[in-house]
Amino acid sequence: MNTTFDKSLPLAIGADHAGYEYKEEIKKMLVAAGWQVSDKGTYSLDSVDYPDFAHPVATMVEQGQAAAGILVCGSGNGVCMTANKHAGIRAALCWNEEIASLARQHNNANVICIPARFVSIEKAEAMTKDFLMTPFEGGRHERRVEKI
């Protein structure tokens, strides 16, 4: 998988109980593609609180310890809201490949948030691939991103 992110850094990934199975499948896909993956949990289907996993993912990206972040919860909203509380994080809630690509191309998103209860695992994997492979276009979008 070609990427616009630095593959010398790991990808940070996290999920709550609703996103656990998707996280595990996405992680396998990423490792098979040659990525290092830093799994911030959760590690089971037991009910948990999404901020406990979104904050560590966002922190790794914020501190330059991860190339990008991948977060999964039931709706995608909780992890997205949590990640966006961090300085320099541009987390995007994505529900199809076009939105995932545009989040990178126009908004320079550095964290993708996936709604496990509303997309298939195949869709989640395709969105993750597109997110990682799409470069930021810059230009007129740079000015807008700087205003964030």
Q: Looking at the annotation, which residues are catalytic?
A: 73, 106
Q: How far apart are CA 113 and CA 75, in angstroms?
A: 9
Query: How far apart (Å, rounded) are the C-alpha atoms in residues 17 and 41?
Result: 9
Coil vs helix vs strand at 51: helix
The DSSP bridge partners found for residue 14 are 71
Dist CA 134 CA 44 (whole Å): 31
- Judge contact between 71 and 57, C-beta under 8 A: yes
